[in-house]
Amino acid sequence: MASGSEGSAHPWAPRELALVVPTLNERANVPVLVGLLHEVLQGVEWEVLFVDDDSRDGTAGEVRRIAQTDPRVRCLQRIGRRGLASACIEGILATSAPIVGVMDADLQHDESLLPHMLQALRDGDVDIAVASRHVEGGSMGDFDKKRVAISDFAARLSRLIVASDLTDPMSGFFMLRRAAFDAAVRNLSGQGFKILLDIFASSPKPPRFQEFPFRFRTRQFGESKLDSMVVWEYLMLIADKLVGHIVPVRFVLFALIGGVGVGVNLLVLRLALAAGLHITGAGIWATLAAMVSNFLLNNQFTYRDRRLKRWKLLRGLVTFSVGCSIGAVANVGIAAQVYGQGNSWWLAGLAGALIGAVWNYAIASTYTWGKTK
């Protein structure tokens, strides 16, 4: 690995460029990436900030080990928080560099593009330089047809919230001026993996951008963090930008899953009665089934970024069930009060359901999924 002082007049010289690299179990890739950055950024005052989501393989420790002899390397370790987009946001906010780049730690991004992207921003004609796999000369590499189709679909879908003709909105490899980030930061959703699209959709005016073709490399060390839910999180980002200013997308999803719970309740109630159970016992089983299904679905989808696991899953189920039980009482009480004032039955039922849903959502967000420690 290159020396920490190489290419730098002074270890405390102001940094022109900061690279933010989110990590989760990327220990083997860290020293390799640092060495590559030293090679391609000679003559540039730069630093790299690894934002680690409490990796269990010692990634943060490896970054700190390198930082002991290389003042360009920094570590921001997050405890109890996860998410690539939010990691990028925190990393950018933690540096004073006027130009900031974002790239992955898995060595799949072509670091040789960094000087060209930096020069484009230096020239003053663009706000964001984007490494794209979908312009001429770019490639998805060895991705299978399914992954390519998903990427193409995402690019078309992005037109719903972004006016710019961005060919690769799912790119995680880009560079931007701090002024462009500052203009968008307070409107960012911070959801999922796709921070680039979030920045474009959150900017008060379309950013000027330039795309650079690159070929996606094959991962050498570690395992991919992308799973089948990446498309879901992308859709949630799109939805948040479309309706999030009216009502939180998380609440909409919570309410939809509540509707699924009603269906589960009715189904289990019907099956229990058919099996010969008394209406009281059947109702208890139906209610429990609805609560459990709602909890598991919300844990998987609504609060995916705060998912509970192992023993925390059981504790979460208890707090969720208690909160929903109180919500059910509030539902009935409000409905009875509205009906008692001479209103129609459907208005009373709707009012009770709405109050119950808001209560359940507040309790779930605050107590069940509010803590990620």
Q: Give pLDDT, residue 307.
A: 82
Residues 185-201: tens digit of each pLDDT:
988 877 666 788 889 88
Pairwise CA distance, residues 58 & 51, whole Å: 13
Burial 29-58 (b: 16+ CB within 10 A, else e): bbeebbebbbeebeebbbbbbbbbbebeee
Residues in CB range of 66: below 8 A, 6 or more apart: 1, 30, 31, 34, 73
Check residues 160 and 213 and name the one with the higher pLDDT: 213
pTM of the model: 0.71
**Residue 365 clears pLDDT 60, i.e. is over it:** yes
1: in domain: no
**One domain for residues 238 and 282:** no
pLDDT grade for 7, boundaries at 50, 70 and 90: very low
What is the average pLDDT across 167-177?
87
Better pLDDT: 230 or 328: 328
Alpha helices in 341-371 (DSSP H): 345-363
Last residue of a domain, one of 185, 208, 243: 243
Residues 163 and 37 in one domain: yes
Claim to verify: residue 69 and residue 36 sit in the same structural domain: yes
Residues 46 and 184 in one domain: yes
Which of 75-79, 146-150, 267-271, 319-323 shows the lowest mean pLDDT across its residues? 146-150
**DSSP code of residue 322:** H
Say yes or no to pLDDT of 4 above 60.
no
CB distance 121 to 225 below 8 Å: no
Q: Is residue 6 part of a domain?
A: no
Domain assignment of residue 31, yes or no: yes
Average of per-residue pLDDT across 59-82 = 91
Mean pLDDT computed over 61-90: 90
323 and 238, same domain (yes or no): no
Q: How far apart are CA 48 and CA 62, in angstroms?
A: 14
pLDDT-derived band at 146 (thresholds 50, 70, 90) equals low
Count of the separate structural domains present in the chain: 2
Shared domain check, 210 and 340: no
Range with the poorest average pLDDT among 107-111, 291-295, 366-370:
366-370
Alpha-carbon span 17 to 100, nearest angstrom? 6
pLDDT bin (cut points 50, 70, 90) of residue 279 is: confident
Give pLDDT, residue 145: 64
pLDDT(9) > 50? no
Residue 255 neighbours by CB distance under 10 Å:
17
Among 43-52, 133-142, 272-281, 318-327, the minimum mean pLDDT is found in: 133-142
Quick check: 109 and 131 in contact, CB under 8 A?
yes
pLDDT > 70: percent of the chain: 82
Residues 237, 255, single domain; the answer is no
Assigned token pair, 304: 């995916």
Domain boundary among 243, 260, 290: 243
Which pLDDT score, from 0 to 100, does residue 367 have?
85
pLDDT of residue 48: 96
CA-nearest of 194, 203, 138 to 171 is: 194
pLDDT of residue 102: 95
Instruction: Quote the domain boundaries for residue 211.
Output: 17-243
Residue 100 shares a structural domain with residue 187: yes
Distance from C-alpha of 142 to C-alpha of 327, rounded to nearest angstrom: 50
What are the tokens at 82? 């996860």
Residue 279 CA to chain centroid, in angstroms? Answer: 44
What dihedral do alpha carbons 29, 35, 37, 43 form, nearest 10°?
170
Q: Are residues 261 and 239 in the same domain?
A: no
Kindly state the helix (H) or strand (E) to which residue 176 belongs, with its residue range: strand 174-177
Please indicate, yes or no, if residue 187 is contained in any of the structural domains: yes
Query: Looking at 243, 267, 299, which one is the last position of a domain?
Result: 243
Residue 7 lies in a domain: no
DSSP assignment of 257-290 equals HHHHHHHHHHHHHHHHHHTT--HHHHHHHHHHHH
Q: What is the pLDDT, as a whole number, of residue 253?
A: 84
Say yes or no: 198 and 316 in one domain: no
Is residue 21 domain-resident? yes
Instruction: Give the pLDDT confidence score for residue 245 in this predicted structure.
Output: 64
237-261: average pLDDT: 77
Strand order in the sheet with 174-177: 73-77, 46-52, 17-23, 99-102, 174-177, 128-132, 209-213
The DSSP 8-state label assigned to residue 159 in this structure reads G
How large is the average pLDDT for residues 80-103? Answer: 90
Domain membership flag for residue 373: no
What are the b/e assignments for 210-236, b being 16+ CB within 10 Å?
bbbbbebeebeebeebeeeebeebbeb
**CA 93 – CA 71 distance, rounded (Å):** 19
Model pLDDT, residue 183: 93
Q: Kindly report the average pLDDT of the chain as a whole number.
A: 81
Residues in the chain: 373
**Is the pLDDT reported for residue 17 higher than 60?**
yes
Q: How much is the pLDDT for 1?
A: 44
Q: Is the pLDDT of residue 69 over 90?
A: yes
CA separation for the pair 363, 291 (Å, rounded): 14
